[in-house]
Amino acid sequence: MRSLVSENAVRRLPKYLRALKHLEESGAVRVSSAELGKLVGMTPSQIRQDLSSFGEFGIQGYGYNVTDLSQQIEIIMGTDRGHRAILVGCGGLGRSLIQNFSFEEQGVQLVAAFDMCEDLIGTKMNGVPVYSAKTLPEFLSCHEIDMAVLAVPKRSAKSVANQLIEYGIRAFWNFTNEDVISPYSDILVENVHFSDSLLSLSYYMAEKTDYETRMLHRMNKIAVVS
């Protein structure tokens, strides 16, 4: 199942959406691809190309209606699908997701959380009930769940994911910093690998430092020569 639109385009839509919501808040009614482009740091062409791969949302000579486009993008992203999620692993990160991240804002319903820790079982976090991980198969057999948020420790990431797949889960939002699924599987996995992200930042910091150091040396040489 090869997607019809480029992954790059899909991943740029949320950025457009954020800019549009800010525009909406600031009272803007219309926006051109040129304006939006300046806002998000992309070319007008790219924005028009990206949008046109999902439909026609603009009006010639006018631009885009901010509210309309914003809503259209939300629909494209599936926020109206009523996706239902469970969260597995109520450690520090899991807890902070339940308590601080607004799943509803992205159109996702977080219906339950699961953990091994006896102390947590039976409690509610931000309105979300916490059940024993042992009851997962039972729970999943009688509830329609579309997605699992994986927030278990690295070491159990793969085994938990595989179990969940057995119980019928077909999509993961994965916070374990581990690759949990074979790259050839058709299970959807969206990784939020903090460690990869920090490493990339670290790389660019190092690159920048090296570049600045080189520049400095070059300038010193020039100073000496002249």
Q: Which residues bind DNA (CB under 7 A)?
A: 6-9, 32-34, 42-46, 48-49, 51-52, 56-64
| Residue 61 binds which entry of a copy of itself, DNA, none, CB below 5-8 Å type-dependent | DNA
**3-state SS string for the chain:** CCCCCCHHHHHHHHHHHHHHHHHHHCCCCEECHHHHHHHHCCCHHHHHHHHHCCCCCCECCCEEEHHHHHHHHHHHCCCCCCEEEEEECCCHHHHHHHHHCCCHHHCEEEEEEEECCCCCCCCEECCEEEEEHHHHHHHHHHCCCCEEEECCCHHHHHHHHHHHHHCCCCEEEECCCCCCCCCCCCCEEEECCHHHHHHHHHHHHHHHHHHHHHHHHHHHHHHHHC
Under rule CB under 8 A, residue 76 binds a copy of itself: yes
Under rule CB under 8 A, residue 92 binds a copy of itself: yes
| Residue 34 binds which entry of DNA, a copy of itself, none, CB below 5-8 Å type-dependent | DNA
> Which residue in 6, 59, 78, 129 binds a copy of itself (CB under 8 A)?
78
Minimum CB distance to a copy of itself smaller for 17 or for 136: 17
Minimum CB distance to a copy of itself smaller for 62 or for 194: 194
Instruction: Give me the least distance between CB of 61 and a copy of itself, in Å please.
Output: 27
